[in-house]
Amino acid sequence: MPASQSRARARDRNNVLNRAEFLSLNQPPKGAPEPRSSARKASGPSAQPPPAGEGARERRQSQQLPEEDCMQLNPSFKGIAFNSLLAIDICMSKRLGVCAGRAASWASARSMVKLIGITGHGIPWIGGTILCLVKSSTLAGQEVLMNLLLALLLDIMTVAGVQKLIKRRGPYETSPSLLDYLTMDVYAFPAGHASRAAMVSKFFLSHLVLAVPLRVLLVLWAFCVGLSRVMIGRHHVTDVLSGFVIGYLQFRLVELVWMPSSTCQMLISAW
């Protein structure tokens, strides 16, 4: 017995970790939680082992944590590309928002730019279409106006639904106007004025006989309406581009469900 004790003391003296400069390595850091084994020993025989379900859950979490850390440290290429495009979109929108506030560089032209945007609003277009429909006396004119009214109503409902679903804010903190609240055009994505301008211009180009200068002016008007919404800080560039695409798709849908003259006359008589 004494021989075994002397051998143990000699082994402790020869252990490098028992030297003074390495004693701190054997001591746990301050404030560190007590190991589970020691806590289980201190609790005595009355302590019960954790349930099997909790142990399995802890093992699954320990296996999942490294993967989550890797995903955060190494994001996917799609995520990097999306964030880069989003940053470019925000930067361009803020640079083009030259009429966004009173302190902006083009603040004096804000009223004129807003007036250009109002030409693409839904309320004036719906009111003007109904007025022309009442004044029209030809079957062909009533047919075109009824389908145009259908397209305008479809545009308002589509834009309001998508905006309510996405809820994207504009690049600047600008409050919507009263007309925007009436047409539920409150959020930024997509731009309702841009979708309406694209749909109306394409509708007129397809169903009206216009000279070449008028066709060019119609396309320029749709472009200016979309640009004006970016200049006053209500929409991002991608909001306007998406609005143009949605407006074209709405025109194609109206062309597919085009109401004939008989249906239009029935709706007019019922109204």
Catalogue the active-site residues.
193, 235
**Closest to 113 measured CA to CA, from 232, 198, 197, 194:** 232
Containing 52, the helix (H) or strand (E) segment is helix 52-73
CA distance 192 to 248: 12
